[in-house]
């Protein structure tokens, strides 16, 4: 994709995409963020909460920004009770809080944006484990399942993890991802999903050395990595 220097999210014509609108294929549609249509025609996100929150927070974004999403199912004719039962059956909803405790669906966020989010530090940790311990797939809430495993069953000692320190964060990412890739592919991680189904890699850092691959991407020079950006954002917010 390319964009002009003056491009804004409110004017799609200023962006040039590799696959034009109307020319999509099954392969190009598959990675799109997903929704289920609920009672009254209301869309419920099953993936893309952080992406849409970013769009919401941007100066040229906001609640009226138009985005394209992939519809998993249309359940608009169901009652509220039947709708939530169907979401749970298909594992299209994550009804746990940041401590891993089940909560009523009425307590789930009713929109996107930072004000609607709570900080699940384990899920945040798993974002940085992508392509080191596992690869992202199409299972909704994939990183939440891995986060639940880290919280309850990974055996990784996180007592010294300092979320505000780069070296500590990197060391924790390494510990968790090495524990991930040590799992047998058919071992159950969480909610019936196996390590293989949740994208576990067959070798740590996808078989590359510590100085190469995803783990070796720069974190503090003129091309900082994801953790450096995240910590700088946290520090900027005080």
Confidence (pLDDT) at 137? 86
The SS3 call for residue 43 is strand
Which token pair is 126?
A: 């798993």
Region 80-108 average pLDDT:
95
Confidence (pLDDT) at 44? 96
Number of H helices, E strands in the chain: 7, 7
- Overall pTM > 0.85: yes
Cα 129 to Cα 152, 179, 208: the distances in Å are: 17, 11, 14
Question: Residue 126: in which H helix or E strand, if any?
Answer: helix 121-127
The band of 220, judged by pLDDT with boundaries at 50, 70 and 90, is: low
| Domains of the chain as residue ranges with CATH | 2-116 (3.90.1530.10), 121-236 (no CATH)
With a cut of 90, say whether residue 173 has pLDDT above it. yes
With a cut of 90, say whether residue 237 has pLDDT above it. no
Region 73-101 average pLDDT:
96
With a cut of 80, say whether residue 71 has pLDDT above it. yes
Helix axes of 226-236 and 166-181: crossing angle, nearest 10 degrees: 140
Own/partner contacts of 29-34, CB < 8 Å, gap of 24 or more, are 29/70, 30/70, 30/138, 31/138, 32/68, 32/69, 32/70, 33/67, 33/69, 33/70, 34/69, 34/70, 34/71, 34/72, 34/140
The band of 229, judged by pLDDT with boundaries at 50, 70 and 90, is: confident
| Percentage of the chain exceeding pLDDT 90 | 63
Poorest-confidence range of 3-7, 76-80, 204-208?
A: 3-7
With a cut of 60, say whether residue 47 has pLDDT above it. yes
Region 139-151 average pLDDT:
94
Confidence (pLDDT) at 149? 96
């Amino acid at each position: 994709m390319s964009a002009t220097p003056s491009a804004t999210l409110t004017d799609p014509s200023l962006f040039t995409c590799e696959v034009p609108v109307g020319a999509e294929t099954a392969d190009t549609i598959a990675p799109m963020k997903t929704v289920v249509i609920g009672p009254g025609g209301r869309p419920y996100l099953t993936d893309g909460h952080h992406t849409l929150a970013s769009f919401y927070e941007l100066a040229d974004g906001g609640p009226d920004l138009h985005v394209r999403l992939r519809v998993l199912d249309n359940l608009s004719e169901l009652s509220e009770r039947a709708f939530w039962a169907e979401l749970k059956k298909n594992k299209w909803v994550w009804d746990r809080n940041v401590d891993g405790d089940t909560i009523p669906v009425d307590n789930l966020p009713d929109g996107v944006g930072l004000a609607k989010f709570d900080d699940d530090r384990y899920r945040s940790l798993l974002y940085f484990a992508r392509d080191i311990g596992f690869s992202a797939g199409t299972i909704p809430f994939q990183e939440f399942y891995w986060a639940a495993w880290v919280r309850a069953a990974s055996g990784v000692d996180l007592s010294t993890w300092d979320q505000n320190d780069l070296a500590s964060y990197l060391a924790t990412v390494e510990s968790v991802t090495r524990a991930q890739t040590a799992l047998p592919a058919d071992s159950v991680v969480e909610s019936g999903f196996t390590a293989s189904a949740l994208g576990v890699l067959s070798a740590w850092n996808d078989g590359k050395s510590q100085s190469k691959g995803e783990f070796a991407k720069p974190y503090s020079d003129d091309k900082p990595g994801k953790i450096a950006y995240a910590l700088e954002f946290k520090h900027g917010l005080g």
